[in-house]
Amino acid sequence: YQTYVKLKAIPTVGPSGFISSWIGAFRFLFHGREIIQEGYSKYRGSAFKVPLVDRWMVIVSGDQHIDDMRKALPDHLSFLDEIENTLQTTYTLGSSLHSDPYHIDVVRSALTRNIAACFPVVRDEIEASFKDEIPEAEDWKKVPAYSSILQIVCRTTNRLFVGLPLCRNPEYRALNIEHTIQVVTSAQAINAFPEFLKPLVANFFTPISRSMRKAEKHLGPIIRDRLEKENEYGRDWPGKPNDLLSWLIEVAYGGERRTVRDLTNRVLALNFAAIHTTSMGFINALYCLAAHPECARPLREEIEAVIKTDGWTKQAMGKMRKLDSFLQEAQRIYGVGALGMGRTVRKDFSFSDGTVVPAGAHVSVAAFATHIDADNYEDPYEFKPWRFSEMREQEGESIRHQMVTPRLDYILFGVGRTACPGRFFAVNELKTLLSHVLLNYDVKMEKPGQVPPPGWFGSAQLPNTKAKVMFRKRKFS
């Protein structure tokens, strides 16, 4: 309530009374996108606020405000505090992730540096997992795409994270896929209670101890073996796998970092960051391809021409501008929720237009509204697959409009110092996955020409989980 009093100067969209704001918060669960769109239309370029079930959310938009957020220091606007607040990480993911987030640097440095070196194994896992999940058939076959893609992405990502054979273990995969869902739902349950009850309530809802027990069963022996080998033969022991677990161990010099428990926790947490995000990104692109099968030909031509000169490499993926544009356009429309770049305000923060957001408040960007703003994108509701590759042609060799480049009008990965450190790997993985589909299958939607409608809950946009995609062995050129 104290924070609300300080926020009085910022206009509210929807009811603002003490009781009526609860009704507004309930309405937000089912009409979040429309409420934020209403605020965006009225206050684009300035700030407004909406009541959520557990907090007031200040929402900003427009280049200037987003740039202010990009430049803000973490001790003013904190991403980690916001994650702690929304996901209740201390209870749901483990407290050391917040107090010592070194795994983020490992993603930013070692993992990103190794994308080229690890490209062949990731591609190998893509081929193997498609063979298992979606065997090539002469006739059209209906595939429950969402669940198959989750399995494929989980396997592929974990080939890089922990290697063979664990990445293929069904129990290990199920654990990582379910853990994410449990973290999100239990955090929502914990957040429904007042602060002083949270530690008590967390005992009932927290999934971390069960997930950790299961994960330690799989990862414990591998971690112990690697730690022993490093102690015996030194840092670069012969046969040391080149994967995320090794890169984590390399900087886990001692103390709590160098324990089975903490290392297991980091692997679980990075699965949390990587699996559902990448799966949703890929399913969005797959639905767009299946709804626009006419895009297959130009994409195949590009992929085949580049592979001919560069082979299956990271460098080749970097040259595929149409593929990059197609993926980017799918995420522009279907890949972001109504809110993005959430931050908790640590010290009173002044935006450049003078708007002050007090310490303790929460700020987000109107992400979806930004992505479908006609001032940012012509015909914003239309799926234009070559939108971004055409922009890049106009600008010569510019890298500004490639998918990995965060921009004020494209905030899929956030912008600024906390922009997703896994995005270079994620985009490379998405390109390799979609290339594999294009070169080996024909795809179409069960209902031709239509991307299955996504679901919205609160501010989240979720791809349709029920739709079937038709697959058959590639026949068209």
Least distance from C-beta 418 to ligand HEM, angstroms?
4
- 50 vs 107, which CB is nearer to ligand HEM? 107
Return the closest-CA partner of residue 52 out of 30, 69, 37.
30
Let me know: does 409 contact 401? Beta carbons within 8 Å: no
Give me the least distance between CB of 107 and ligand HEM, in Å please: 5
How large is the angle between the packed helices 423-440 and 145-161, nearest 10 degrees? 130
The answer to whether 35 and 59 are in contact (CB under 8 A) is: no
Nearest approach, Cβ of 368 to ligand HEM (angstroms)? 13
Contacts of 415 (CB under 8 A, 6+ apart): 66, 69, 70, 341, 406, 407, 408
Residue with smaller CB distance to ligand HEM, 50 or 280: 280
CA distance 287 to 434: 11
CB nearer to ligand HEM: give 80 or 391: 80
Q: Which is nearer to ligand HEM, 21 or 148 (CB)?
A: 148
Beta carbon nearer to ligand HEM, 340 or 452: 340
Strands 349-350, 77-78: pairing is unpaired
Of the pair 278, 432, the CB lying nearest ligand HEM is at: 278
Radius of gyration from C-alpha coordinates of the chain: 23
- Concatenated DSSP letters for 208-235? HHHHHHHHHHHHHHHHHHHHHHHHHH-T
- In whole angstroms, how close is the CB of 390 to ligand HEM at the nearest point? 23
Q: Which is nearer to ligand HEM, 296 or 415 (CB)?
A: 415
Q: How far is the CB of 38 from ligand HEM (least distance, A)?
A: 23
12 vs 180, beta carbon nearer ligand HEM: 180
Q: Which of 153, 99, 147, 105 is nearest to 125 (CA)?
A: 153
Query: Where on the chain is the footprint of ligand HEM (CB under 6 A)?
Result: 79-80, 104, 107, 111, 270, 273-274, 277-278, 281, 341, 412-414, 418-422, 425-426
For residue 256, the minimal CB distance to ligand HEM (Å) is 19
- In whole angstroms, give the CA distance from residue 124 to residue 6: 56
Nearer to ligand HEM, 422 or 458 (CB): 422
Residue pair 461/336 in contact (Cβ under 8 Å)? The answer is yes
The answer to whether 288 is annotated as binding is: no
Cα 331 to Cα 281: distance, rounded to the nearest angstrom: 7
C-alpha closest to that of 220 among 247, 251, 259: 259
Q: Which of 211/278 has CB closer to ligand HEM?
A: 278
Q: CA–CA separation, 34 vs 332, rounded Å? A: 18
Beta bridge partners of 443: 471
Smallest separation (angstroms) from ligand HEM to the CB of 201: 26
Nearest distance in Å: CB 200, ligand HEM: 28
Min separation Cβ 226 and ligand HEM, Å:
20
Closest distance to ligand HEM from the beta carbon of 308 (Å)? 28
User: Could you please report the per-residue DSSP string of 297-357?
Assistant: HHHHHHHHHHHHHH-SSHHHHHH-HHHHHHHHHHHHHHT--SEEEEEEESS-EE-TTS-EE
Cα 51 to chain centroid, rounded: 25
User: Is 60:363 a contact under the CB 8 Å cutoff?
Assistant: yes
Query: Could you tell me which residues come within 8 angstroms of residue 48 by beta carbon, excluding any fewer than 6 positions away?
Result: 10, 11, 12, 13, 39, 42, 58, 59
Closest residue by beta carbon to ligand HEM: 422
Considering only the C-alpha atoms of the chain, give the largest distance between any 2 of them, rounded to a whole number of Å: 66
Residues of each annotated binding site for heme: 420
Which residues are known binding-site members? 420
